[in-house]
Structure formats: C-alpha cells, structure tokens
Structure 1
C-alpha cells in the first residue's frame, strides 16, 4: 500500500497522505512525500494539493516511533532529517502547493501546511470538538526551531506568533482563519475542491510571470527551512532533556502506547 496516493485533477496532482490512522510522520512517509512531489513535478503537474485523511490531516511526527529509538542519536537525526527534508521539498516546490486539511493539523502537520502556498481547513461537523491547527511543541516538551517559528511569524505576525508558540496553543479552524493561519475554511468535503479552485485561479494567469513572482515572494519560506535556521543537532540534543522525556512519555500514555 502506498503511503502517499497520487490522484490527477487535470493539470493539478493531489498527493494524499495515506498512513493510517493519523498520518503520523515517520521517515518512510516523509520520503514518500518527497518522492511524490518530485514525481508529480516531473510528470508535468502545474499545481499540487497536499491532502490527508478525514478528521486528521497529519498528527505530526510519529512520537511512539521516535521514542522507540531511545538514545540512538543517528536514528533520531535520520528521522528528523527526513521530516525537515519533506518540509523543504514542499517549500521549494517549483509549482504552487495548496494544503487541503479535512481535520486536525498539530505540530509537524502544521509545519507541512505552513510550507504550502495556501491552506484550506475544514470546520468540524461537531462544534463541541472543533478541528485545530498549531505548533504545540511546548505542550510536549519540545522547542520549535527558529526557522519553523519564522514560518508562523510570516503568516500571523510576530506578536501573535509569540503567544501561540510560547503557549503551544492550537486555534480552531475558524480562529486560525481569523488570524491568517489558514486562508479558507470549508466543510470537510469541500477542502479538496476549494484547494483545487484556488490553484486553478493561479494557473489561469500568465505562467512565467506568476511563477517568477511566486519564487520571489516565497524566498523567505525556503530560507526558513535552511539547516542553519533549524540547528538539528541542537534540537536532537534537547530531545533527551528530562522534562522533554517526561512530557513525551505522557503523550505515549495518552495514546495508550
């Protein structure tokens, strides 16, 4: 079974994350995202939609998998390099990428969405259990690297980004739309059509001027994912802090792992 399923919508390729149940980002899924993007572009896609499962776009990094690695520094570095490699591939795509999020997008799921050009998020059909998006790293004992923080600052502004990042807050879809974290809110069924419609609007423009303008406008997105702004070695060292490990074990307990 493919971890990323590719579907054609004319000039637009949809890459659907398909690692049940919540599209947790392990190295295999991250590699499949990179490969899917590269294949779609080589095959002539003029726009790409990154979509996920119902209720959950992506739950972020696969914490049970990461915890199973123990103190294997090389394996942890490989896992995180795979994730940031997938994020860079989205950020550096030569064609526009829209995220169609039919559910939650915490942590790594939010990072992937922030790397896209446009974000459509679903409003939960159950108002008592709204879908949420955000960088909740501090809630699980992690520090969002400076480059990832820059991605959030870019869309919501410095002061609001500080509040969200330090508190590890997860706005609802409507709250995220109000502050610019997502561009559009739709029903779960309409997230994909709305993402496609946005891309079609871009594709109707003169192609080269649009793409060149986009490249200039998004240079800061690509730069935010540069290794110097991620400091992966420092990030992985922090993984073993006692308070970080305690918070991550609490996550595992909640997951029943």
Structure 2
C-alpha cells in the first residue's frame, strides 16, 4: 500500500483571514501601544516555578507563595531535601489552592533536574535553540505547552506565543478556527500565522489577555465598547441589546482612527 499522506499543517487546513493583522493591530493600539522591553533577567528555574504557581491562581497569590518558598528555601536543594510534604506546608501557609498538586510538581521538577542535569539550574536553556529549550521545559513534571511558552517568551526572550484562556476565547468568538480545537491546536495555529518577532508577540499576548479580561469577558462581554466589534460575528449574539443584530466583518464603519 502507498504511504498515507500526512495532513497539512493547521494553518494550511484553516488559513488565517486577511483581517487577522487588523485584529492584532487594534488590540495592541488599545491595550499595549508601546512595544515591550525585556524585563530584568531572572534565574530561569525561579521564573519557571513562579509561572507554575500562577496556574489557576491570581498573580498576588502566586507572588506570595513564591516569596514564601524563597524564604523557606534560600537554595532549592533545601526544598528537594524537604520533600513534597514540606513544600506543600509552605504553600498552604502562604494561602492559595492546589497546594498538594503544585508541591508535587515542584519537587518533581527539582528531582528531575538533579537526576538528569546534575544541577538545580536551568541556565543552560539560554544556550539552546528554541525547540531544544521547549523540549527541556516541557519534559519537566507539570509543565505543559503554555507554561513553557510563557517562560520562553518573557524570560528567555524567544518568539513563543503563549495562548491563555482569554486569547483562546477571543479567537473563538472571532471564529478564526473551529470551536472544537484544543488549546494546544490554538497555540500551534497562532505560532504559525503571527510573525516571529519577539516584541510584537509579547505585546500581542499581553494585549490579548487584557482584552479577554476587561472586554471580551466569559460572561456579559462588553461588545458595545469592543475595538473588534465590526469584525466579530459573536457581537450580534453576545453583546448588550443595543449592539445585537449589528452586522460584522467590515459591514459597519471601522472603529475610529484612534485605534488604527
């Protein structure tokens, strides 16, 4: 039998609309008009663990838990020796949910690094290419695509494009791709269709997250004040009564020039 033909990449199966650059430009103009600057370099392991703590936590709680860990364990070797139960106690005392699960992941990451790299340090990721660094990060316990992408983008300054629930919700309401797609497919699609330039991707990520939190909210989205309203087919269904029934995707006048 002839070999089975491989399926084309996601962005070829579902090509981006020609107005996608307009979506990115408007979000950036509204929420992040200035391109970001690299933030001060942090230890990569510290950045990874702090990002792990932020999963299903507020940034305030994650910062408090991380500070408690650093106070309890000035060196990560002490956390490795203390074990998951000791780490869990530190996290619980600092407040926040999923303490047992995250303690297990943290201890698992430290044990994995000690066993496989012989050091509790991820500085070597700075010398790896993008895919090698991603493979190393995603090979650690509890670290999935989004967490790895956040560390790659903001701490290793690589042109990754993490897609959180806010960006995914915005994109699906814009009907950029099938609703059934998983978060992993969504990120792979965005990674293929957005130019691979670090500052542009960092700005788009931040702007997309802010738009999802402030305007394109899970409930009661503020479609009447949305800079994407005329491009969004969902505005006619989800927005306030005064915006429902509005035609989309260029059938209204575009938003004012202040957002161009």
TM-score normalised according to structure 2 size: 0.25
- Whose helix proportion is higher, 1 or 2? 2
- Whose strand proportion is higher, 1 or 2? 1
TM-score normalised according to structure 1 size: 0.25
